[in-house]
Chains A and B, each alone.
Chain A
Amino acid sequence: MDKRVPSDMISFALNGRTVDLRPRAGERLSGALRESCGARDVKVGCDAGDCGACTVLVDGAPVCACLMPVHQAQGRRVETLQGLVKAAPEAKALSESFQDHGAAQCGICTPGMMVSAVALLRDIPSPSVAQVQDALGGVLCRCTGYRKIIDAVVGAGQIRSTTKDTGHTGQAIRRLDGAGKLAGTEKFGDDVAPPDTLAVRVIRSPFHRAAFRFDDLEDWAQKTPGIVAVLSSADINGRNCFGVIPDFADQPVFAEQETRFRGEAVAAVVGTPDAIADFDPETFPVAWEELPSALETEDAMSGRAAQLHSTRDDNIMCSGFVTCGDPDAALHAADVSVEGQFTTPFVEHAYIEPEAGFAKVVDGRLEIHACTQAAVMDLEALEDILALPRGDIRVVPTGVGGGFGAKIDLSLQPYLALAALKTGKPVRMAYSRTESMQSTTKRHPSEISMKIGAKRDGTISGIEFSGRFNTGAYASWGPTVATRVPIHASGPYRVADYRAKATGVHTHCVPAGAFRGFGVPQSAIAQESLFDEVADKLGMDQLEFRLRNALDNMTPTVCGQVFGSGVGIKACLTALRSSWETEKTAAATYNASHTVLKRGVGLASAWYGCGNTSLPNPSVIKAGIRADGTIVLHQGAIDIGQGSNTVIAQIFATALGIAVHKLTLVGADTDVTPDAGKTSASRQTFISGNAARLAGEALRARILKLVNADKTSRIECGDGHIKVTDGATAHRIDLASLETDRDGYVLQAEEAYDPPTKPLDKNGQGAPYAQFGYAAHLAVVEVDMQLGAVRPVRFVAAHDVGHAINPMLVEGQVHGGIAQGLGMALMEEYIPGRTDNLHDYLIPTIGDIPEIETVIVEEADAHGPYGAKGLGEHVLIPTAPALLNAIKDATGVRITQVPATPARVRAALRELGDD
């Protein structure tokens, strides 16, 4: 029997139906399922078994489809999420439970989680938490912090009481876009293109810095079978330069002559799917010459290093500065002072969806479908690069499988655009995990020096802060980090005498840009660690010390900004007091009977200004009512998992006065939905939420005016009519009698909101943000004194959100932020060229996140919709310093370099003399 099968058909049962395929040798099951069988619910996150997103059941057993040769499926039974949800009772119960618990945020890991959970429940119908963790340990999630997933699996099959919620603000309703995530039908960046679409592959620099030279590219393309086009800087009609901040735009789409970081693009190849699968980048006609590079800021600033950008001497990109009072005198007058140096590394966003997208030319216009956090910014950048009029480009965001900041910048959009325009054909591309990690932005590494003084009574007396941030080869959001850090480095405290400077420095590293917190998580590590040290020196309780100095209404910030209401840090800290006391006592009791394992408790606070810093930052929301009574909300605040599709709709529904489930949602699309700005800076709930509130109010006013009804009237939308009940009087508006506008609406409202801020002067004095959110975390850790391993045991997280629009989504943000903060504190370190995959770069797994108690504090904000504040970034800022403070409490060692790996903790213990 010849078992040689290159041209043989194979057949297997996919979700109960037989499929016949003619696979290529070495083809992955994941690829075959997605491209040959239409099973795009199988997600590809790493192609290496590191993330588990592609988990399917083969003969009932979970495996990574990316690691199975498709030939091995011959004669076997393969089940994916879509099939399971239709047929398996366990999957149906899980789907409901996931939605009830908010266990899916972006939804990219959901297929892997669900499939793994089905296998578990078939085996163990009522699993314990530990059994759930063991079963789902192979699937990474970057959004949820896993606890809601555990709850959803443990609680699957429990019927949650169905309520007739209006879905107005304050109600913990399910995500409005959750069902598609659970059914595996939501389309992410790589799920849009038809299977036989031409593919694009980028050629990247193998060196941190290199000169390069091409041979004849056109000739190579013509001679290489299946290759349709090659792209390089020569194909750019507009500016070969982009950047999220116009004044700092400095990044080429394709490098010219010299590359400035490992992984920088120099060219791209467009070909048939088979040709691209067979393409070995080593065969591309480019000659490299490695050049000396500077990877550390010290080297880059030394004068010996090559200058990366001609206008930025000593490789200094820019600095931010804030000062008030007389910090030198205050520190001199302080009764005690502490100082420290802290370092943090590059941190990778590690969303489970690598960048992916699809482009085509439709009626002479370019259409880009890709995952993004900023559709209109993408469009504006492409206008410039392509030299096309704005009207010739349409950007349609796909589902976004996590973003956390890195999908604000352009990634593959220009390559897609250039390839579609050059070939005239539809094109697609998906970054490999390594490409994604090599080439997209990171959290800035930081080197921080800080000195804090205090009076004997516990009042802070002077702070001096200096931070250097490695912004990599290009500016990206580096200027924002440099600006934000000095504003926030005081923490949410009254500091009358303050000086803070942050400087961004270019190196030959991957660009650092936006990542949940824009530099503030790094500065908070220094500041909150030193706060504990000051309190210790004063002999004060750490919580009391913080409360004593906490900001309050009518107390000026370090920028001289005074808020009359909504300053919630004291409420957050106070909310932790009882846990602080019980956990301290419990840790002391534990430690009295344990020698190897020691427990400790740590605290940290945070604040974060929502929206752009002292810059215009508008959002526009539009809504309309069709003649048939359908209410359509054009919701352009891109949902990257955080929940804006739900939250913005809840706000709008509240303002309009109808139930949220009556709304039809139209998502971001530059052709049909107005610009709600980028999803960043924790601005969507606040800013787009306000625009939604204004739009809802305007539409309501228009309806009421038609019948001169009172503003307290009840509105109900029915089939072709609106019923307005004004006290005892009922009005009926026949919608067909109204004129239809060009958008197809009989009634329409479009409103903008731009938060009131004021510019900062040369000393950083002004009103940088219209709103701050506040937080305080308590962490309990257990440290293995022999091995240096740190195990977080519990978190209590108090967050002032002003008003919780959706408390379940608030908890989701808190859990996910804590997971990222925990990763930053304990395990995450991106080293260019060394940890650009998800087995060397570690993010927390389902076994690493302990129980989290969320305390929602609501100190209404003067500007936020119904008092609501932003939350997305606040959630991870206090986590790392709370953990470091807990480690100090447990062990006596102060870790000043994250991540606090077992080796680093042991090294610190050895230095302390603990052998």
Chain B
Amino acid sequence: MADYFQPGNLDEALTVMQSRPVTIVAGGTDYFPARGHSPVQQDILDVTRIQGLRDISLTADGDVRIGAAATWSDVVNADLPPCFDGLKAAGREVGSIQIQNAGTIAGNMCNASPAADGVPPLLTLDAEIELAGPNGRRMLPLSQFILGPRQTALTEEELVVAFHIPALRRDVRGAFTKIGARKYLVISITMTAVCIGLGPDKRIDFARVAVGACSPVALRLTELEHALIGQRPDAVEISEAHLSSLAPISDIRADAVYRREAVAHQIKRAIAAASDNG
């Protein structure tokens, strides 16, 4: 019969992890659906009682640290700068209130689904992920953490501790849009997150754009970001070349042609939304 561990601090957690293979569980929102009715195969390490792991903090110079056990609701309800509006909007669209109250952002990253709602907004925030292991801590840019569908850079002895988001200009605002076939509890067909800043001429002078569910791992569209500089937010132009890094697939939710076509509209709308009240 499997064991269940609920350490109160990080050192205890790491000690357990060195002693045996464990399945890490936080909100359980991916763990239980994946397990279904099959038996528990491995000891479980529950990280939700690790002291401080759920904290969200903002430093004086604007850097933000989100603890790995922070739930989507924690993020949605936190007092964060406007560049986090996209992350919060994504949070409000993750599953349902029930899922948001339990599921964590770190879990969303570790699950590494191509359609994970949290990845595009965190990419636009240039989030770094802090990992703790037996040899200490290390930081990785999020883009280097998620390696492919269901694949991350996390080793068996490591835990995600936090996300670090460097301060952005106070006027930069985030937005997130998602297409699904129904209103709630829906997996994205495509999704886009942006962080947009406008100059005094009301033209874009800061742009980050990330797209999910159109490639094995959500991607920043850096060429597009460059091209956006100087454009008016309500009339941006997007060429095929800007989207060339995407590799959408056809699945039960939509075909690849649709995804490629829809995402261009979605980006424009997200930029408009981020600029609307920005």
Contacts and interface: CB of A to CB of B under 8 A. Distances in A.
A906 B257 CA distance: 10
Interface residues of B, number: 56
Nearest to B43: A25
A204 B255 CA distance: 31
Interface in B1-35: 1-8, 12, 16, 25, 27-29, 31-33, 35
Interface stretch (A164-172, A229-237, A841-849, A883-891): A841-849
B49 A845 contact: no
Contact of B97 (A135, A788, A847): A135
Given A6-B4, A25-B43, A827-B181, A903 B265 contact: no
A63 B1 contact: no
A137 B97 contact: yes
A901 B181 contact: yes
Interface in A861-915: 899, 901-903, 906-907, 910
A754 to B, nearest CB: 43
Contacts of A71: 4, 6, 46
Contacts of A137: 96-97, 183-185
B44 A906 contact: no
Contacts of B277: none
Of the listed residues B43, B101, B102, B185, the one surrounded by the most CB atoms of chain A closer than 10 A to its CB is B185
Contact of B185 (A4, A138, A831, A835): A138
A432 interface: yes
A837 B36 CA distance: 11
A831 B8 contact: no
A72 B73 contact: no
Contact of B179 (A6, A66, A279, A902): A902
Given A3-B12, A138-B185, A903-B189, A49 B252 contact: no
Interface in A10-68: 23-26, 28, 47-50, 52, 55, 61-64, 66-68
Given A6-B1, A138-B95, A842-B181, A69 B7 contact: no
Contact of A63 (B8, B43, B102): B102
Contacts, number: 187
A116 B1 CA distance: 35
Interface string B25-63: 101110111011111100110101100000000000000
B31 to A, nearest CB: 8
A196 interface: no
A280 interface: yes
A69 B101 contact: no
B49 A842 contact: no
B38 to A, nearest CB: 6
A705 interface: no
Contacts of B187: 839-840
Contacts of A906: 258, 261-262
Given A137-B184, A842-B181, A4 B3 contact: yes
A3 B28 contact: no
B183 A848 contact: yes
A69 B44 contact: yes
B38 A55 contact: no
B32 A432 contact: no
A50 B184 CA distance: 10
A840 B266 CA distance: 22
B243 to A, nearest CB: 15
B182 interface: yes
B102 A67 contact: yes
Nearest to A915: B261
Interface string B179-212: 1011111110100000000000000000000000
Contacts of A554: none
A899 B262 CA distance: 18
A206 to B, nearest CB: 14
Contacts of B73: 61
Given A50-B185, A62-B97, A277 B43 contact: no
A903 B258 contact: yes
Contacts of A50: 33, 185
A906 B184 CA distance: 22
Given A116-B97, A137-B183, A48 B33 contact: yes
A463 B13 CA distance: 72
23 contacts: A3-B5, A4-B4, A5-B5, A6-B4, A24-B2, A25-B1, A25-B4, A26-B35, A47-B36, A48-B32, A61-B73, A67-B33, A67-B102, A72-B46, A137-B96, A138-B96, A278-B39, A280-B38, A786-B262, A788-B262, A834-B252, A845-B184, A848-B182
Interface of A: 1, 3-6, 23-26, 28, 47-50, 52, 55, 61-64, 66-69, 71-72, 74, 116, 119, 133-135, 137-140, 277-281, 432, 434, 786-789, 826-827, 829, 831, 834-835, 837, 839-840, 842-848, 899, 901-903, 906-907, 910
Given A25-B44, A138-B98, 9 more contacts: A63-B98, A64-B99, A67-B102, A69-B46, A786-B265, A787-B266, A829-B252, A842-B182, A902-B179
Closest 8 CB pairs of A and B: A138-B96, A847-B183, A137-B184, A48-B33, A903-B254, A25-B4, A26-B40, A903-B258
